Amino acid sequence: MTSVLHVATTGSDQADGSEASPLRTINHAAQLAQPGDTVLVHEGEYREWVKPKRGGLSNTRRITYEAAAGEHVVIKGSERITGWQKDENASAPSEDVWTVTVPNELFGDFNPFAEEIVGDWVVRPIEDGQRKHLGDVYLDGRSFYEVGSPDEVRHPTRRTEVRDDWTERTVPIHDPDQTAYVWHARVTADTTTIWANFQGADPNERLVEINVRRSVFYPTEHHVDFITVRGFELCQAATPWAPPTADQPGLIGPNWAKGWVIEDNVIHDAKCVAISIGKEASTGDNNYTRRGDKPGYQYQLESVFSAQQIGWDREHIGSHVIRRNTIYDCGQCAIAGHLGCVFSSIEDNHIHRIALKREFYGHEIAGIKLHAAIDVEITHNRIHACSLGIWLDWQTQGTRVARNVLYGNSRDLFVEVSHGPYVIDHNLLASPVSIESFSQGGAYVGNLLAGTLGLIRVMDRATPYHRPHSTQVAGYAVIYGADDRWIGNVFAGGEIDDAYGTDAHTFDGAWVGTAGYDGHPSTFDDYLALIDAQPPGDHNRFPDVPQPVYIRHNAYAGAARPYAAEDAPLHLSSASFTVVDEGDAVWLEADLAEEFDGLRVGLVTGADLPRVRFVDADFEERDGSPVVIDRDLLGERKHADGSYPAGPLTTLASGTSRIRVW
C-alpha cells in the first residue's frame, strides 16, 4: 500500500508524517519511504543532506520526492553564520573586512574549508597559482572568491579577465565587480576561522551562509533505483572535483543506480558539479593523482573494464531522465558523468553560467560533460554563458544531440576520442567555436554553425568502442579522423581569428566550413582503393590513408568553404545570423540571400548514412531501428515526401526573419 509522507518546517521527526502531523526533515522521510510512496515537502528552507535509504522497484513503483504544488521549497548544503566581528587589523581601505570562528563540529567529518580542489586533470588556478578549497561564502546568495591570505581579503583586487588555458585566449570574468567579494579561511584541529570582505554590508544584518555539506540529495549506497526528485530549489553544496577516473559525487545524483528522474528543479551554486550521473570509487578514484605511476588515460581505460566486473549494464545502471531544470553558477559542470550516464535522456534544461568564476581550471569543465555516453539523448536544451557547452568524451556511441540552442559560450560542442555512430542534428551553434571533433564516425544533419569547425586526429590514445546499444566492449582504436557525414547544414561564415586568435590551414586545426576534409575520399570504395594501393603489410597500411567523408547539400556564407568533393554545395552571396537573448525568450534573426531558397534537402534517415568503419555499426534508434532525423529545432516534423531548407528550421527562408527558438 502506497502512502504520502508530508514534511514541513513546523513538523517533527517524531510525528507520523500525515498532512496533519508532518515530519520535520526530508532525510527522515527518506529513511521511511517505501516503493510507490511520495514524500511531499511543504514551503520553507531545509538545510540538510537527503540520503535516500531505498529506491523504487520499477518505473511504475518509484519513490517520489516533490515540492507541494505552488510552494517554494529550498534544500541547502549551507548553514547561516552569525557573530561576525570587524577585523582587528582593518585599515580605512579595508573596513569592510569581518571575521568569524566556527567550531569544526559544524562540519562533521567533512570540512569544505580544509578540502582542496584536487584530482586527475585539475590544472592549478589560472591567475594566482594558489590552492583552492571546496568551501564557499555567500552574501544574500552571492558566492565569493577565495584568496590566499587575510591581507588579500583586506585589499582585494578586481579582475576583469583571465587566460583560457584551452584556447589560449584572454576571456572576461563574468562579473568583474564580484571579484572584490573575497574570503580566506584557516583551519585548525578544532576551529575554522574565516575572513570575508562584504563590500560595505553588515554580515550580522544580512544573510551570510557557508557551505558545510558535500551534497544535498545523494544516496550514500549504490543501486538506490527509481527515484524522482521534482520541483525543488537545491543549492550551495561543496561538491568535489569529479573527473572520469574518480568517484563523481554531485549536489544531486543517483550514485551508481538506475532510473532516476530529476525534473523541474532550480539547481545552483555547486562548487564543482550540480547533477552527477557518474561512476563510483571502486572503479578508480584519482589514482593518477594519488600514485603518479601511469597516465590518467590508462586508469580511465581500466575503469571501463572494472565497471563491467561490477555490473555496468543496461539492467542495473543508467536510464536516467534529467529534464526541465534550470542549472547555473557551478564551478565545473551542470551535468557530469562517466559510465553511469548510459541510456539516459537530458532534455529541456536551461544551463548557464558554468565555470565562469574561473577560480580553478581543469580538463573536465562544461555545461554537460559525459564520458561513455552510450545511447544518450541530449535534446532541446538551452546552454549559454558557459566555458564550454557540451563535451562528449570517450565512447560517444548511439548518442543523439538534437535541437539544442547554444550561444555565448567559449565553445559550443566538443566530441573527443569517440568512434560513433553518433548524430548531431538541428542544433543552433552560435558561439565563436561551434564544433570541435577529435573523433570519427559522426553524422551532422541540419545544424547552423555560426563559428568554426575544429578537426583533429588523435593517434596516441586508443579508446574503446562497444557492441551496438550495449556496454560490452567490442574493441578499441585510435582516432584517424573523418568517417563523418555532413548533410544540410548551414555554415554562417565565422572567423578563425575570432575563435582561436590564430590562423590554421591544415586538417589538424580550425576551419570555417568543411574544407578541412579536403583530400579525404568521398566514397568507401575510393577509400578501399587507397588502401589497396599501399605497400603490403597490416596495421602499417592504414594510418596515412585518410578515411572517407560523405558530404552533400550544405550552405556556406562569408568565409566558409566547402569540402572540395562535396555534392551540391550552395555558396551564399550574403547571410547574417544574430542570436537575441531576451530573458525567457531567445530569437534567431536572419538575413539570407535569395539563392538560399534553391537548396532543398529531403528527410534524412539511417538509410542515408553509411555505417561507421571501426565500430562497423549503423545509425540507429535505441531500439535498433534505423534512425529517423525528422524534427527541426522547434519540434516541427519533417516528412519523407517533403523537401526542406538547409539548417535547423523548416521555416528558414531568404530575406529577413525573426524566429523564436526558445
pLDDT digits (tens, 9 = 90+) for 523-573: 999 999 999 999 999 999 999 999 999 999 999 999 999 999 999 999 999
Q: Of 334, 437, 449, nearest to 384 (Cα)?
A: 334
Cβ of 45: how many Cβ atoms within 10 Å? 12
What does CATH list as the number for 79-211?
Answer: 2.60.40.1180
Q: What is the mean pLDDT of residues 269-280?
A: 98
Q: Which residues pair with 444 in a beta bridge?
A: 424, 486
* CB distance 320 to 261 below 8 Å: yes
Can you give 546-604 as a three-state secondary structure string? CCCCEEECCEECCCCECCCCCECCEECCCEEEEEEEECCEEEEEEEECHHHHHCEEECE
C-alpha 161 chain-centroid distance:
23
Q: What is the mean pLDDT of residues 25-29?
A: 98
Residue for grid cell 557573530: 83
- Above 50 in pLDDT, residue 502? no
pLDDT digits (tens, 9 = 90+) for 352-374: 999 999 888 899 999 999 999 99
- Above 70 in pLDDT, residue 410? yes
Q: What are phi and psi of 39, to 5 degrees?
A: -100, 110
Q: How far apart are CA 559 and CA 572, in angstroms?
A: 10
Q: Could you tell me whether strands 142-143 and 137-139 are parallel, antiparallel, or unpaired per DSSP bridges?
A: antiparallel
Local structure of 530: helix, strand or coil: helix
Q: Could you tell me whether strands 261-263 and 321-323 are parallel, antiparallel, or unpaired per DSSP bridges?
A: parallel
Q: Could you tell me whether strands 448-449 and 145-146 are parallel, antiparallel, or unpaired per DSSP bridges?
A: unpaired
Q: So where are the chain's domains?
A: 4-66, 79-211, 394-575+592-646
Q: How far apart are CA 267 and CA 433, in angstroms?
A: 27
Local structure of 400: helix, strand or coil: strand
Residue for grid cell 531505498: 54
- Above 90 in pLDDT, residue 503? no
Q: Could you tell me whether strands 78-80 and 261-263 are parallel, antiparallel, or unpaired per DSSP bridges?
A: unpaired
What CATH architecture applies to the domain 394-575+592-646? Answer: 3 Solenoid (2.160)
Q: How far apart are CA 454 and CA 457, in angstroms?
A: 10
Q: How far apart are CA 40 and CA 70, in angstroms?
A: 12
Q: Which one-letter amino acid corresponds to residue 436?
A: E
CB-neighbour burial class of residue 292 (10 A; exposed 0-12, middle 13-18, buried 19+): exposed
pLDDT band at 160 (very low <50, low <70, confident <90, very high): low
Q: Of 317, 327, 403, 414, nearest to 365 (Cα)?
A: 414
pLDDT digits (tens, 9 = 90+) for 569-616: 999 999 999 999 999 999 999 999 999 999 999 999 999 999 999 999
16 vs 126, more confident: 16
Q: How far apart are CA 639 and CA 621, in angstroms?
A: 17
Cell of 604: 534524412
CB-neighbour burial class of residue 574 (10 A; exposed 0-12, middle 13-18, buried 19+): middle
pLDDT at 358: 87
- Above 80 in pLDDT, residue 170? no
219 vs 180, more confident: 219
Cα end-to-end distance, the chain, whole Å: 42
pTM of the predicted model, to two decimals? 0.96
- For the CA atoms of the chain, what is the radius of gyration? 26
Q: Which residues pair with 454 in a beta bridge?
A: 436, 510
Cell of 596: 538560399
Handedness of CA 239, 240, 243, 244 (dihedral sign): negative
- 59 DSSP assignment: T
pLDDT at 505: 32
pLDDT at 379: 98
Q: Could you tell me whether strands 428-429 and 458-466 are parallel, antiparallel, or unpaired per DSSP bridges?
A: unpaired
- Above 50 in pLDDT, residue 228? yes
Give 485's contacts (C-beta < 8 A, 6+ positions apart): 442, 443, 444, 445, 549, 550, 551, 609, 610
- Would you list the DSSP string of 81-123? ----EE-TT--GGGTTEEEEEEEGGGTTT--TTT-B--STTEE
Cβ of 104: how many Cβ atoms within 10 Å? 16
